Amino acid sequence: MAEGSSSSSSGFDELGLSASILRAVREAGYVQPTPIQRDAIPPVLAGRDLLGCAQTGTGKTAAFALPLLQLLDARVGDDPCVRALVLTPTRELAAQIGESLSTYGRHLELWHTVIFGGVSEGPQIQELRRGIDVLVATPGRLLDLLGRKQVNLDRVEVLVLDEADRMLDMGFLPDVRRVVQALPRRQQTLLFSATMPEEIRRLAQGLLRDPVSVATARISSPVESVEQQVYFVDKVNKRRLLLDLLGDVAKRRTLVFSRTKHGANRIAKLLDDHGIRASAIHGNKSQGARTRALEGFRRGELAVLVATDLAARGLDVDGITHVINFDLPNEPETYVHRIGRTGRAGATGVALSMCDHEERDYLRDIESLIGRRIEAVDDHAYPPSGQPPAPAVAPRPRAGGGRAPAGPARRGSGRPGRGRRRGGRRSPS
């Protein structure tokens, strides 16, 4: 089960769900709502827009599907028409959502269908003609059918955008925007994304009205999500290597860690002298100077912030692309905290560490803590003179981040796109 943001242990029956939905949830074998379900279901039932930062495996599908079905059920009209549209990046996800709707809606008189590309569209069109309440679709096929007037979205009341960041990665955002333009003024929009890159934030700002934000704890720890490399180097060459590291890749926002305040000052000066906009933050700097440095870093005026561990505590800057450990920390846990400054919220980050001869033991402790070897980069300009062998460690595995809730296998009778489906009783079409 994923970690939660609150410690309440309320069950499903405290979330405002109807008897029919609760029954389906019980039959699915769910006992406790996951954190995202607990946080999202009440506001969605109250008609609020929602910005959900959650990965697959957190129970996010039920977090939107349960209240969505309940809202549609309460407003059911005589002529069936698409009243909710769920946009997803892939056919697999579309299919899974379709199955979840079958499971959760099995005691309701609601219909849904799933449409995606790569398969014949005939059966999908037939389903649409028979009238459905919820349409789950990938943007491309939906636009195709929209363009040929095979689907009518004029009565959509709720839009769900699932895995928005994947849509972005797959280049679907223009299609998503086109679909959104074809919708009437909606009553409610729910947007889910595992990460919140700038473009998704902008999309959310344009789409959501006064949204409730819900987030689940990150699923993977920085140890999994951050690319890590170590450079063996003599102490005297660390400064040169740092300049190389900062020069060779466009490191747009880099946090350099130094064990000492003086070290941090010296590094900041070195970088400044070489035309790299940098500033140091540590305990000897006034609050004003620290705030100015942070602001400059946030706005992108400073490319590099050089920090001691204490100064970096609580530092909350999004979009740090690289962490460079000029010194390795003597506490291995500190290493994990340091690298966690990049690759936040699922974005990829890079952590580069310099390790001189005296720091080999620190490295061994770190590798032992994180349960793996850190990849060593050999082909750099300043290999260590003595060339001592890389330390051999037997990694001790540590529990990583959270994991997906161990729910029952998804139910659902049919295959996606193979007909209008509703779980449980069949009703006349």
Is residue 195 near ligand AMP by the rule CB under 6 A? no
- Applying CB under 6 A, does 416 fall inside the site for ligand AMP? no
Residue from 4, 35, 52, 59 binding ligand AMP (CB under 6 A): 59
Q: Which residues, 6 or more positions from 307, have their beta carbon under 8 angstroms from its beta carbon?
A: 255, 256, 257, 258, 264, 280, 281, 282, 315
Residue 112 interacting with ligand AMP (CB under 6 A): no
Q: How far apart are CA 301 and CA 323, in angstroms?
A: 17
- If the CB atoms of residues 97 and 366 are measured against ligand AMP, the closer one turns out to be 97
Indicate the residue among 25 and 339 with the shorter CB distance to ligand AMP.
Answer: 25
- Measure the CA angle with vertex 164, ends 160 and 168; round to 5°: 140
Out of 332, 407, 419, 424, the only residue in the binding site for ligand AMP (CB under 6 A) is: 407
Q: Is 62 in the site for ligand AMP (CB under 6 A)?
A: yes
Question: 32 or 213, CB closer to ligand AMP?
Answer: 32
Amino acid at 307: A
DSSP letters spanning 154-191: TT--EEEE-SHHHHHHTT-HHHHHHHHHTS---SEEEE
- Please name every residue paired with 193 in a beta bridge, in sequence order, or none if there are none: 53
Does 60 engage in binding with ligand AMP (CB under 6 A)?
A: yes
Q: Which CB atom, from 371 or from 407, has the smaller least distance to ligand AMP?
A: 407
Nearest approach in angstroms of CB 408 to ligand AMP is: 6
CB contact at 8 A, 20 and 366: no
Q: In which element (H, E) is residue 37 found?
A: helix 35-45
Per DSSP, the residues of 348-408 read -EEEEEEE-GGGHHHHHHHHHHHTSPPEEP--SS---SS-PPPPP--------S-----PP
Contact 312/261 with Cβ under 8 angstroms? no
The reply on whether position 401 binds ligand AMP by CB under 6 A is: no
240 touches ligand AMP (CB under 6 A):
no
The separation between the first and the last C-alpha atoms of the chain, rounded to the nearest angstrom, is: 39
Nearest-approach distance from CB 74 to ligand AMP, in angstroms:
22
3-state secondary structure of 285: coil
Nearer to ligand AMP, 106 or 282 (CB): 106
Applying the rule CB under 6 A, the residues between 2 and 41 that interact with ligand AMP are: 30, 32-34, 37
Binding residues with ligand AMP: total (CB under 6 A): 16
List 56, 213, 368, 413, residue binding ligand AMP (CB under 6 A): 56
Q: How far apart are CA 194 and CA 163, in angstroms?
A: 7
**Cβ distance to ligand AMP smaller for residue 56 or 368:** 56
Q: Of the two residues 2 and 271, which places its CB atom closer to ligand AMP in the complex?
A: 2
Under the rule (CB under 6 A), what is the footprint of ligand AMP? 30, 32-34, 37, 56-62, 404-405, 407, 410
